[in-house]
Amino acid sequence: MREIEARRKGRPRDRAQRNAWPAAFAVVIAQIVAPAIAASGEASGAAHSAVTASGASALTIDPGEIRNWYNDPFFALSSAPGACPQPLGPRMTKAEADDDAHYRVERGTTCWLAHKCTKPNSYLYDADIAAAIREKFKGAASLDGTSVWITVQRRFVYAEGCAPAAFDRAALERGLAAIPDVEQVFVRLRADPHARPPYKTLPPAR
């Protein structure tokens, strides 16, 4: 009888342990999706403020508007004179952002569920990684003559832009990879000003 009673008492704890990660998963969903929801809410609020006294309908978000809905770190690391197509970076349409929400949660929690991250999702590392990159490469002479934009998403760093053929791309990749918590680095730089950029760019203005 004691053994049976002990098993009965142990079941709630086992069940609680099994249900622990879904609860944390729900927190992660809120943390990742919140920026997009907030951005949408801000746009909606601005739209309502634009309603005229005659009772005209509230403005809606332009479905074709390109924005950084999730506020992923995106900034210019260097800017040389001359034309260099600006990367698309983390910018997308609202429809694309909504479609990407589920995958961001899934991708962001992978390392945490595998016990490879101390934070509940990979995207929570990005702001600190971006700040460390800015600090490390501030005024770096090695970037002279380049126009490089940095995007940080779930500990992945993308360096995109233009650089002379003689530029040491491998050194830039090593420098970025040495930043704490960076998981992967992708360097996509165009040397030929007439060649197609090796990265996505902003669509032409309509």
- Whether the per-residue pLDDT at 204 is higher than 70: the answer is yes
Q: In this structure, is residue 26 part of a structural domain?
A: yes
Tell me the C-alpha distance between 132 and 86, whole Å: 22
**Per-residue pLDDT tens digits for 125-167:** 999 999 999 999 999 999 999 999 999 999 999 999 999 999 9
- Whether the per-residue pLDDT at 201 is higher than 80: the answer is yes
- Whether the per-residue pLDDT at 109 is higher than 70: the answer is yes
Instruction: Please report, as a single letter, which amino acid is at residue 66.
Output: I
Q: In this structure, is residue 59 part of a structural domain?
A: no
Total domains in the chain come to 1
Give one DSSP letter per residue of 21-65, joined into a string.
HHHHHHHHHHHHHHHHHHHHHHHHHHHHHT--TT-PPPP---TT-
Q: In this structure, is residue 63 part of a structural domain?
A: no
Percent of the chain with pLDDT over 90: 60
**pTM for this structure?**
0.73
Residues 6+ apart with CB under 8 A from 110: 122
Q: In this structure, is residue 145 part of a structural domain?
A: yes
* pLDDT for position 44: 38
Tell me the C-alpha distance between 72 and 127, whole Å: 8
Contact criterion met (CB below 8 Å) for 182 and 189? no
Q: In this structure, is residue 25 part of a structural domain?
A: yes
Q: What is the dihedral of CA 110, 116, 120, 124, to 10 degrees?
A: -90
**Per-residue pLDDT tens digits for 69-105:** 999 999 999 999 888 999 999 999 999 999 999 999 9
How much is the mean pLDDT over the chain? 79
Q: How confident is the model at residue 123 (pLDDT cuts 50, 70, 90)?
A: very high
Percent of the chain with pLDDT over 70: 70
Residues 6+ apart with CB under 8 A from 113: 21
Question: What is the Cα 118 distance to its own chain's centre?
Answer: 18
Angle between helices 126-137 and 169-177 (to 10 degrees): 130
Q: In this structure, is residue 19 part of a structural domain?
A: yes
* pLDDT for position 138: 96
Q: In this structure, is residue 155 part of a structural domain?
A: yes
SS3 state of residue 122: helix
Q: In this structure, is residue 62 part of a structural domain?
A: no
**Per-residue pLDDT tens digits for 31-77:** 544 544 444 444 434 333 333 333 433 357 777 789 999 999 999 99
Domain of residue 142 covers 2-54+68-190
Q: How confident is the model at residue 21 (pLDDT cuts 50, 70, 90)?
A: very low
Q: Is 181 left (phi over 0), alpha (psi -120 to 50) or beta?
A: left
* pLDDT for position 206: 55
Q: Give all strands of the β-sheet with 184-190 in edge-to-edge order.
A: 74-78, 147-153, 156-162, 184-190
Between these two residues, 64 and 26, which has the higher pLDDT value?
A: 64
